[in-house]
Structure formats: structure tokens, C-alpha cells
Amino acid sequence: MSGKYRQESSTIHMVKRLRFTRIFSKAKIRQQLYLVYAAVVVLPVVLIGAFLLLNNYRMMLNYHEDLLEADNRRVKNILFEITTQIYNLSESISFNSNIQSLLTTQFTAPSTCTLAISQNVLLDNYLSAYTEIRKIDVYTDNPTFVGAKQFHPVNEEIEKKAWYQKAVSQSGIFWEGMSWYDEYGNEYWELCLVRKIPLINSPCHAVLVIHVSDDYLRMRLDSGDYLSEISVDQGPVCYSSDRMKYGMRQPDVIDYEQPYFQRKGRIRQEGVECFVNISALHTYQSDSRLYICTLDFDGYQNIRNILYLCGAVLLLALAIPLIMIHFFTAYFVERVGVLRQEMHKASRQDYELIPIFQGNDELSEAFADLQIMVKNIKEQEAKVYQAQIKEQALLINQQEMEFKMLASQINPHFLYNTLETIRMKAFTAGDREVATAVKLLGKSMRYVLENVGTAETTLEKELDHVDVYMMIQHLRFGDRIRYERKVEEGLILSAYRILPLLLQPVVENAIVHGMEEKEEDGLITLSVYTRTSDRTKLLYIDVEDNGCGMSEEILGKLRRDIEDRDMSRSKSIGLYNINQRMKLHYGNGYRIHINAEPQEGTTVRLMIPIDRMNRSL
């Protein structure tokens, strides 16, 4: 059973592997390399990078939250220390016998009250000894009391204060955030301890207010990294690292119903997302609660900067291999392309391979094998070609001999004189059309007879012969067939030499076969122009007709007929001879090319290398 399971598992694995190989092999080499890069580099780096970024993000969040919580705890401990010390100080002041005696005394004169206050230096000593205290105020409703130093009689304004009414109505202490104004009208806030001074056997009331020094709190609490805010109960901020926050409300996230409220997390303040840690401090021997808010405005920006840096490192980790893969791929694909191009040239029987192939790897070895194979093929083809040349030379000699024998039977001067006599008689008789026809026929026959046995003539004379031939055809067919000759601008026709009697058979073939079904508007176009192909400058001669064209089947047969000689056939002999003459004279790569479409006409193109045309310039 186990063996059967392993066999099925192996079969499934093999099927998946074959499917992957089939999909992968359909891509080009460049695409395959990029797929490998994506699978081996991009995917792991992205997955690992995303995991690390997310993990680092969480760690940094926890780190900043822990730091903020520690700073909040630090501020809380300092505040507890300061408030406890000030509470103990308030106990010493409230139960000091000299202070109580001073506040309960009924003075007979203001001067006596002022003298008694000046002699009491207890509060002065405390102010000079405790730097955390900015000011100590004692308020009393003793009618015989006058204001001096730290002692103040209660007036209507003080009596209406909520903190004064609260202090008079209870015996416990409490903390209050109080504001005051300087002589310039600037508002300041301070954390103050407020308590009632118990006066035994006296109908009067006295309230002690100890103002905590804001500068002392700033020195003790400010860390430089975070913003701290302190408020009492539901009151406004009475201390802040940012002086602009004084008198403002704490964040709305505080739940004042919870006695031991504490919150940490993130809020949005002033349009900026920041870390926040808020906790409640129960002051010593008091029902007042101090709410300490610690804010970190730079934490998120620091985290983002680190994440951006990590992201940049990840992108760099992807970019560097990508650049290397890109250049390696370009180099490798270029070499593969060169090898493929050379193999394609060899498949088209073009054995002129590049001499040097870059590299020293398997591709170089494959190119070396290709060179050896091409060398062997060239040697074999050279042997076959030599045999074909000998055979073709015999055929050409036979044709030339037959042509010479035919031409020798005709006396050229007798023929010219006879045609000229006929032309003059027709001209004298007023038959100009016959005279013109005889003249054109004479020019055509003169060109043919003059070039019997010659190897070359000028391109200008060859084109003029075609013009004469088309004039004769115009006399025959009239406007049924028109003729156009297009020559590239700047091309000096007399400077190029060409095989004689090369173009007229092509034009004749276009008229006989291309225009046989054309009743009107026939057009033969002969175009001469130059192009550069594979660094070789070529002369193109196109003979194009707008006749009936031919099907793919007929076109294929015609292409085969002009390549392989069949003595039994009577058609395409002229094109076959021209094709063979071009290959023998200019090289095996230069021949006739025929293109045609049904009902669209036929184009016969002759491509001749200019460097083999014996230019006279």
C-alpha cells in the first residue's frame, strides 16, 4: 500500500514538473532569466522584507510606547515626591503655633498687625529653603488684619473664588491649577496646594495657598524628548513643556470616572499622529487627582524614517541584482542572438560567418562547431559548384554557338540597309507609322546583334533598349499598355555596366503573361534604385505590372522552374536563362525574385551588387 502511494505521489510530482517545464520553456531566454530573478530574488526578498518590516514596525511601536510609559512614570514619581513634600510643608505651616496665634489675634491698630507680621519669618524661611515653591499666600477674614508680606485679608474678589469657598467649606487639602497675570497682562498658570488652616476658638477662617514653582517643575520634569502636560481633576492644563498649552484642555480620551485611569496608544494632535500615555496620580492625603499626559510627536516620524530606510535598503537589494541581471541578460541574449543569426545565415546558405565570437563558454563551443560544419559544407558545395560551373559553361558555350550560327546567317549591313530602304519608302509614301515601326525595329535588332558575344553593356544602353522595345509594343497595343520608367535621382546610368539583353525578356514576359487578360489600363513600371543590405550596396531593378497576377501555387511552380532546368517545358525559358546568367556572373546569392498576388499584378526584382558592376567612375 505504501509503495503504491509513493508511486502515485511520484507520478503527480512528475506531471507538475513537466507542466512547469512546458510553461517555462515557451518564454524567451530574456523572459526566463527575469522569471528566475523574480522567483529566486524578488519573491523571497519581498516576503522576508515584508515580514521584517512588519515585525520591526511592531517592535518600534512597542519600544516607543514603553519609552513613553517610562517617562510618564518618571514624571508621576517626581510629582508625587514634590506634592508630598509640599503637603508636609503645609502641615508645618498650618499647625505652627505662631501662625495660628497671628491669625487669631484681634489687633487694635494696623501698625500693630504689620509689626507682628514682620516679626514672623517662618514663611520667609520656607521660601528661601524650598526652591520648588514660588510663593506662599495666607488669606484670612480676620477684620483686624491688614495685608503684609504673605498675609492677605479676604476681599470680595477672593471670597468669590471657587477654590476659596471649597477650602473654607472642608477641612481637607486639595490641589488646584490657578492662573495669575503679571503687570503686562500676560497669563500664567501654576499648580497650587490649597488647604484650610484650622483656627481653634476663633470665628475667623484662614486659607493657605502654596504655589509650586513652574521653573522648578520644568527643570525636574522636562526630558527634551517628550511633551508633558499636567492638569488637576477636570481642570485645564496648569503645566506643560510647551508654554502655549497652558490653560487648554487635556485630550478628550480621558475618562474622569475611572479613579485609576491610564491609557497608552496613539492620538491625533494638531494634525499630527503621535504617541500618548496618560495616567492619573492620586496626591498624598488628598482627593485631588493629577492627570499626567506625555506626548511623543516625533515617534511616528522616526518610525516612518526607519521604515523608509529599510524599504530603501530592500529596493536597493532588489535593484542591484536587477541591474546585474539586466546587463547579464543583455550580454547573454546578444551572444545568443549573434549565434542564432549566424546559424540562420548558414541555413540560408550564406556561409560568410563572423570571424570572432565573444566568450569562452558553451556558446563559444557551439559557434566553433558551427564554423567547422560550415567549413565542411563549403568544401562540399565548392566541389558541387565547380561541377555545376563546368556543366553550365558547356551549356552557355552551346547557346552562344547556336546564337552565333544564327546571327552569322544574317548579314547585319544587308539587314540594316534593307530596313532603312523600307523605312524611307514608307516615309515617302506618307505612312509615318510604318516608318517609325521599321526604325524602332532596326534600332532593336542593331542592339541585339551588336551585343552578340559581348559580356557587358552600360545600364543606360540596356534601359534604352527596353524603351525601344516598349515603343514597338505601344505601336502594337496602343493605349492598352502604358510604360513608366523610374530612376533614382542622382543615379548615373552610364556609370554602371550590366549583362546585355537582361531586362527586355523580363519586360516581354510581363506583357505576354501579365497583360494577357488586361483589356485596358495596363501598366508596366520599370524602377531602378539602390539600397544597402548586410553592408552590401545593391542595385535594384523592379519590373512591375498591374495584370492578373498569379496564385501561390502557380507562383511556387514558377520559382522552381527558374531555378531548375527542365528541357521538356516551353515556358519560363527566358527567366530561367536570365536567372542562371546572373548567378554565374554576379554570384550564387544574386538572382531573380518574383512576387505576385492574384488580381494584383506581378513584380520581378533583379538584385545586382554594385561593386561587381565595373563602375567606370
Phi, psi of 123 (to 5 degrees): -65, -35
SS3 581: helix
CATH of the domain at 168: 3.30.450.20
| More confident site: 579 or 418 | 579
The pLDDT value recorded for residue 416 is 64
Q: How far apart are CA 12 and CA 338, in angstroms?
A: 40
String of DSSP letters for 334-390? HHHHHHHHHHHHHHTT-----S----SSHHHHHHHHHHHHHHHHHHHHHHHHHHHHH
Please identify, among 259, 281, 300, the residue that sits at the C-terminal boundary of a domain.
Answer: 300
pLDDT tens-digit readout, 377-394: 778 877 877 777 777 766
Q: Is residue 269 part of a domain?
A: yes
- Check pLDDT > 70 for residue 408: no
Q: Is residue 527 part of a domain?
A: yes
Q: Confirm if 201 and 98 have CB atoms less than 8 A apart.
A: no
The pLDDT value recorded for residue 370 is 78
Q: Is residue 12 part of a domain?
A: no
pLDDT tens-digit readout, 41-99: 788 888 888 888 888 888 888 888 888 889 999 999 999 999 999 999 999 998 888 88
| Residue entry with cell 543615379 | 491
Most confident of 5-9, 24-28, 320-324, 569-573: 320-324
Count of domains forming the chain:
2
The HSE-up count of residue 602 (CA atoms within 13 Å, CB side) is 25
| More confident site: 81 or 568 | 81
pLDDT tens-digit readout, 123-160: 888 888 888 999 999 998 888 888 888 889 988 888 88
pTM assigned to the model: 0.53
Q: Is residue 442 part of a domain?
A: no
∠ CA(422), CA(428), CA(430), 5° rounding?
105
Please identify, among 300, 315, 338, the residue that sits at the C-terminal boundary of a domain.
Answer: 300
pLDDT tens-digit readout, 36-48: 778 877 888 888 8
Q: Is residue 232 part of a domain?
A: yes
Name which of 265, 261, 234, 266 is nearest 250 in CA terms.
234
Please identify, among 300, 322, 348, the residue that sits at the C-terminal boundary of a domain.
Answer: 300
Q: Is residue 352 part of a domain?
A: no
pLDDT tens-digit readout, 162-179: 899 898 888 889 999 988
The pLDDT value recorded for residue 616 is 42
Domain that holds residue 122: 72-300
Q: Is residue 578 part of a domain?
A: yes
CATH of the domain at 591: 3.30.565.10
- Check pLDDT > 90 for residue 263: no
Reported as a pLDDT band with limits 50, 70 and 90, residue 617 is: very low
Q: Is 261 left (phi over 0), alpha (psi -120 to 50) or beta?
A: beta
